[in-house]
């Protein structure tokens, strides 16, 4: 009979040796997630990312350029629409009388500009005709000098216009109302303005102080403010009485004042300004 012990030993000898794959520890199979984490934590080449960003700025792609143009166009359209709606709302809520006044003011300004254009065309023809062109040029220069002297406030002036009398019994009239009044008068074609026969209004005029103690160019105004303006009387009065203008602000519940506007065939303004000497500029030879 065969020896069982020998068979056992032969079986042990013939058993295959474990391969390398079988000898791989279990930790190796479970190390997959750790390996991916290690890969995710690898440092990024920041220099390459910065180069890509710089290239995108200096040489934008066509799609980026198109997106930028579309965004700018949409933004401009929105702003334009908002502004146009605001203007439409202002005219939509205005009274019919106010709209008529506005149209009359524009028509008067158009006629004034047409008259000035015709006068300039006539002067141009006289200068180009050759007939005593030197005398025409000298006369036009003097007229221009006189007009600029009046506008600068260095010479007296007279002409048709209006007189505005403002009373402020509650001492609530602020400096902003006077500034608005001067702006409205200039927009209506005012050429010369004066406060209380003493203060000539020019481009350098400033208004300050508190309600009840208003100051114009360093001079305190009295309780009754008188503003005389030379210009087209009708246009000036319409500008002062326009809804939201000087008359509305003075008579509003916030101020509670009174205003009187009188058209005059002649307004005489005698107050003048002394021109300041230039520190650096001088006439050219």
- pLDDT for the residue numbered 27: 45
Q: In this predicted model, what pLDDT tens digit does every residue of 69-95 receive, in sequence order?
A: 777 787 777 777 666 555 555 666 767
Question: Please, what are the domains in the chain?
Answer: 95-272 (3.30.70.1880)
Counting as low any pLDDT under 70, the low residues of the chain are 1-47, 49-67, 81-92, 94, 130-131, 285
- pLDDT for the residue numbered 78: 73
DSSP code per residue over the chain: ---HHHHHHHHHHHSPPP-TTTTS-HHHHTTHHHHHHHHHTSPP-HHHHHHHHHHHHHS--HHHHHHHHHHHHHHHHHHHHHHHHHHHHHHHSS-HHHHHHHHHHHHHHHHHHHHHHHHHHHHHHHHHH-SSHHHHHHHHHHHHHHHHHHHHTSS-EEEEEEEEEEE-TTS---HHHHHHHHHHHHHTT--EEEETTTEEE-TT--EEEETTEEEETTEE--SEEEEEEES-HHHHHHHHHSTTSHHHHHTSTTT--EEEEEEEEEEEE----PPPPPSS-----
Look over the chain and give the mean of its residue pLDDT values, rounded to a whole number. 77
- pLDDT for the residue numbered 61: 62
């Amino acid at each position: 009979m065969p020896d069982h012990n020998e068979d056992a030993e032969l079986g042990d000898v013939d058993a295959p040796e474990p391969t390398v794959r079988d000898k791989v520890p279990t930790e190796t199979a479970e190390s997959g997630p750790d390996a991916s984490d290690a890969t995710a934590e690898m440092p990024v080449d920041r220099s390459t990312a910065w180069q890509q960003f710089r290239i995108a700025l200096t040489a934008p792609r066509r799609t980026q350029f198109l997106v930028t143009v579309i965004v700018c166009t949409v933004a401009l359209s929105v702003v334009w629409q908002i502004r146009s709606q605001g203007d439409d709302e202002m005219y939509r809520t205005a009274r019919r009388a106010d709209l008529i006044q506005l149209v009359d003011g524009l028509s008067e300004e158009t006629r004034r500009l047409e008259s000035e254009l015709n006068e300039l065309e006539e002067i141009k023809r006289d200068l180009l005709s050759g007939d005593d062109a030197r005398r025409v040029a000298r006369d036009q220069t003097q007229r221009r000098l006189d007009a600029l002297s009046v506008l600068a406030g260095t010479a007296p002036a007279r002409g048709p216009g209006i007189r505005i009398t403002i009373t402020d019994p509650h001492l609530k009239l602020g400096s902003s109302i006077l500034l608005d009044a001067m702006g409205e008068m200039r927009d209506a074609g005012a050429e010369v303005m004066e406060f209380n026969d003493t203060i000539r209004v020019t481009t350098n005029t400033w208004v300050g102080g508190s309600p009840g103690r208003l100051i114009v160019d360093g001079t305190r105004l009295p309780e009754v403010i008188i503003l005389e303006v030379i210009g087209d009387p009708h246009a000036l009065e319409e500008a002062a009485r326009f809804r939201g203008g000087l008359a509305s602000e003075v008579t509003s519940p916030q101020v509670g004042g009174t205003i009187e506007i009188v058209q005059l065939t002649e307004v005489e303004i005698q107050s003048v300004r002394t021109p300041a000497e230039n520190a650096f500029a001088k006439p050219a030879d």
